[in-house]
């Protein structure tokens, strides 16, 4: 586990490519839980710690894969954006809401985790581990981000990636259109996050970014 900011740690994923699928510990709340195959590695890194909750940025297979395992192992509640809660409880909805593509189907099959009941539906303005929940839909209907204004730390899930999820090439980019039900809405969410001028941005895929102007410029460059 690598500390990125006070009370913010990035876990190491199971895949050999660094930052391929990211999970974060914010205080004692685990944000995202990788793919199904990440479960063992996540539990190993959290051994000896206590959690108070497990939250998702969004209910996609590479973020909810080990959610049930984590919640049951630590006996903690499951917190999901209000418009993604039904998908977390019925993962077949994730597949139904994605554009039809072969890669999407392969991702779903190889990574999706079991259903798990949601205990709290997150809404804009809610507080999670000292972070404020921001509604950032587009990549999924109920995608949320986590923002801590005091030191300008942003956990933005897959609103943007800092790595190509297929080639693993680093660099800021929009998430793949075939994994994003509403790319235009997602761009609006990205532009909203850019205006926060974060000092540290933590992505679902790719390395954290501390170059604020580069991030802000990228968000502002996205077409309306
Ligand atoms: Zn993802």
Average of per-residue pLDDT across 75-94: 97
| Residue ranges with CB less than 5 Å from ion ligand 1 | 62, 158, 204
The residue-averaged pLDDT of 78-98 equals: 96
Could you tell me the distance, in angstroms and rounded to a whole number, from the CA of residue 157 to the centre of ligand 1?
Answer: 7
pLDDT band at 224 (very low <50, low <70, confident <90, very high): confident
- The pLDDT of residue 65 is 98
Mean pLDDT calculated for residue range 156-174: 97
Exposed/middle/buried for residue 212 (C-beta within 10 Å: 0-12, 13-18, 19+): middle
Q: Mean pLDDT over all residues of the chain?
A: 97
Distance 165 CA to ligand 1 centre (A): 8
């Amino acid at each position: 586990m690598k500390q990125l900011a006070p009370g913010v740690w990035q876990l190491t994923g199971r895949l050999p490519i660094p930052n391929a699928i990211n999970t974060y510990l914010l205080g004692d709340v685990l944000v995202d839980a990788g793919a199904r195959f990440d479960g063992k590695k996540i539990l190993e890194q959290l051994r000896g710690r206590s959690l108070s909750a497990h939250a998702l940025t969004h209910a996609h297979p590479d973020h909810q894969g080990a959610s049930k395992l984590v919640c049951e192992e630590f006996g903690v509640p499951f917190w999901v954006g209000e418009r993604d809660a039904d998908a977390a409880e019925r993962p077949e909805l994730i597949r139904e809401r994605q554009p039809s593509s072969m890669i999407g189907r392969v991702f779903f099959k190889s990574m999706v985790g079991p259903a798990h009941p949601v205990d709290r539906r997150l809404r804009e303005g809610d507080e999670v581990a000292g972070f404020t929940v921001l509604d950032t839909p587009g990549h999924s209907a109920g995608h949320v981000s986590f923002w801590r204004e005091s030191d300008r730390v942003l956990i933005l899930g897959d609103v943007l990636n800092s790595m190509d999820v297929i080639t693993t090439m680093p660099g800021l980019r929009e998430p793949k259109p075939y994994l994003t039900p509403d790319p235009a809405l997602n761009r609006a969410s990205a532009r909203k996050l850019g205006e926060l001028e974060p000092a540290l941005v933590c992505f679902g895929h790719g390395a954290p970014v501390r170059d604020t102007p580069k991030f802000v410029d990228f968000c502002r460059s996205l077409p309306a």
